[in-house]
Amino acid sequence: MRLDRNIYRNRMIAFMMVILIPIIMLVCTFTIASEVGHVCMGEHCPICSHIEQCENMLHRIVDGVTNLILAVFPLTLFLLPVEAVVAEVPTQSLVSKKIRLND
């Protein structure tokens, strides 16, 4: 029963991430686009600080996706030839053909 809850919780977290990450990216992009021509107040401008936070968030998301692709791509290149070799292996045996082996 506990395992079912963990699987359900993990699926809900993954579903929420799939929904939230594109929304965060859109909000950050639109915020940067709308505030790009603001009148800067100097060194401690709150709008510049907000734009910088949005840029950092976008960089983190892109870096995470890039790292995921770099981790999965070599594994995919390795597994595709292995899958082709495994597909060539015959799946029938003497037992599956119900051949009786007498001594």
The tens digit of pLDDT for each residue in 5-42 reads 888 888 999 899 889 988 999 999 999 899 888 888 88
Find the mean pLDDT for residues 57-76.
86
pTM for the model stands at 0.59
Instruction: Give pLDDT, residue 4.
Output: 83
Instruction: Give pLDDT, residue 30.
Output: 92
Residue 36: C-alpha distances to residues 25, 62, 75, 79 (Å) = 16, 21, 41, 46
- Break the chain into its structural domains and give their ranges: 1-35
Residues 6+ apart with CB under 8 A from 58: 25, 28, 29
Higher pLDDT among residues 100 and 58, named by residue: 58
Q: pLDDT by residue (tens digit) across 84-101?
A: 666 666 677 777 788 887
Residues 6+ apart with CB under 8 A from 21: 61
